A and B are shown apart, each in its own frame.
Chain A
Amino acid sequence: MDSEAWRIIWFTLAVALASTALILAPSVALAWLLARREWRGKSLVETLVSLPLVMPPVAVGLVLLKLLGRRGVVGGFLHNAFALDIVFTWKAVLIALAVMSFPLAVRGARLTFEGINPRFEQVARTLGATQWRVFWTITLPLGWRGIMGGALLAFARALGEFGATILVAGNIPGRTTTLALAIFRNVELGNDVAAFRFMLCSVIFAFATVWTSELIFARRRRLA
C-alpha cells in the first residue's frame, strides 16, 4: 500500500479515537443522569440523543453543515470570534464522528448504570460519602466494563462513519478522507483493488473492535 493509503488509515484511526475520547466523559455523565435522576425534559433529551442512531446519517450531516458552516449559528460565531473554520476540515470529521457515535456510548453506559443495584450507592451515601464520591468509588468501578463496551462500539461506529462525514467534511484527499470515504472514492473511480484493500482494513478494524467489546461484555455477564 502506498503512503497515501497508510495516511488514510492512520487518519481514520486517530480521528475515531479522538472522537471517542471526546464523547466519553459527556456520554457517561448524561448516561448517569438518564439512569439515576428524574428531571424535566428527560424524555426529550433521551430522544434527541438517540436521533443519530435512526436518522439517515446524511441528514445528520446536513444539520451539522447548516450549524457549523460560516453562515450557521455555531460556525458563524467561531469564524468571527476565533477565525476558526470547521466545515471541510479534519475538525468537521471529528465532530461528525462524535455526533454519530455519541448515542452508542450513552446507551452502553446507561444500560450499565441501570444494571447496578441502587442499594450499593444508597448504602455508600449512608456511610458518609457524597454523591460525587459515590460515583467515583462505587458507580464507576462497578460500571467501567459496560462503559468501555459502549465506548468501543462508539469507536467502531466512528471508524465506519460515512454519510454525515461526507456532507460536513467533504471527501478531500489528504485532508478529510477516511477509510469509508476512500472506499467510496475508489469505487467511483473504478479502482477496485484499492477499494478492496480499504474494505479489508475496515473489516479488520471493525472485527477487532466489536470482538473486544464482546469479550468485555461476556466477562461482565460471567461476573454478574
Chain B
Amino acid sequence: MNLRLKDIHLPLGAFALELDLVITRRATGIFGASGAGKTSLLDLVAGLRHLDRAHIELDGEVFTDTKRRIAVPPHRRRIGYVPQDGALFPHLTVRENLHYGFDLIPPEERRISFEQVTRALEIAALLDRRIDFLSGGEKRRVACGRALLAQPRLLLLDEPLAGLDSGLKSRFMPYLLRLRDEFGIPMLYVTHEAGELVELCEEVVVIDRGRCIAQGPVADLFEERMERRHELRRPAKPPL
C-alpha cells in the first residue's frame, strides 16, 4: 500500500489539520489524544470532507487534488470505513447491512466472500437479527464485516474498541488480527490506546493538534513515549 497525503489543510476550529504523510505499511496506527484530528484524517481519506487544499492518492490513483480540481466521490474510492460506533443502518437486519456494499460490487470483482467474512468474524448466527438486539462487540464485528464485504482497498478503523470494557476488548482483538492477517487489506487504525497499537500495528503516526509529530515503527516510538509518560507522571514535589 502507498497512501500519500500531501499539503493537507483542513481548519478544525481551534487549529487546522496540516499534514504531509506517506503511509506504506499494512497496518498503521493513527495515535493521538481525543480531538487531535484523527477522525478528520480518516474522513478526508474516505472523501467525506470538503477540502480547500489537499493532495491525496492511494497506490498512484489520485483521490483528491484541489489544484487540479480532482475529487473522487466516496462511492468510487473503495475505502472501507468503520466509524466509532459502527453506524450500522438501524432499519436493516444484520444480513441486509452486510449486503449493502457487497451487492453493489460486480460478482467478478468480489474477492472476499460472504461466508468468509461471517466465519472469520463469527457473525453467522446474528444474520437475521435487528441491529438494536446486538451487543456493543457484535455491532462492531458486523460493522467490520460490512466494510470488508464492500471489497475495500483500504480499511479505516476509528477506535473500534472504544467503549468496550477491558474483558470485551481483549476478546475483540483476535478479530482485528484476523482482519489484518486473513484478508490482507491494509488498514489505518485510529486509537488513543497505546496497547492496541502494539498488538496490531507495524507503524504509528502520532497526531497532536492537527499535526503529525512523529512517525515510525511502533516499538521505537512507544518505548520513547512510555518513558516520557513516566516522567510526566512523576510528582513535581516529593510527598512530605
- List chain A positions with a Cβ less than 8 A from chain B: 117, 119-120, 122-131, 137-138, 141-142
Contact = CB atoms under 8 A, between A and B. Distances in A.
B83 A125 contact: no
5 contacts: A117-B87, A119-B85, A126-B47, A127-B100, A127-B104
A125 B73 contact: yes
Given A119-B87, A126-B81, A127-B80, 17 more contacts: A117-B87, A120-B87, A122-B48, A125-B47, A126-B75, A126-B77, A126-B80, A127-B75, A127-B100, A127-B146, A127-B150, A128-B101, A128-B104, A128-B105, A128-B150, A130-B73, A130-B75
A138 B74 contact: no
Contact of B83 (A119, A129, A138): A119
Contacts of A137: 100
A122 B81 contact: yes
Nearest to A144: B91
Contacts of A124: 89, 100
Contacts, number: 63
SS class of chain A's interface: helix, strand, loop or mixed? helix
B100 A141 contact: no
A129 B100 contact: yes
B237 to A, nearest CB: 46
B75 A142 contact: no
Contacts of A130: 73, 75
A123 B83 contact: yes
A61 B150 CA distance: 53
B147 interface: yes
A120 B100 CA distance: 12
A113 to B, nearest CB: 15
Contacts of A129: 75, 100-101, 104
Secondary structure dominating the interface of B: loop
Given A128-B78, A128-B104, A123 B87 contact: yes
Most buried by A among B46, B74, B150: B74
B79 interface: yes
Contacts of B105: 128
A219 to B, nearest CB: 14
A138 B89 CA distance: 7
Contacts of A122: 43, 46, 48, 74, 81, 83, 87
A142 B150 contact: no
Contacts of B150: 126-128
Nearest to B87: A119
Interface string B130-151: 0000000000000000110010
Contacts of A119: 83, 85, 87
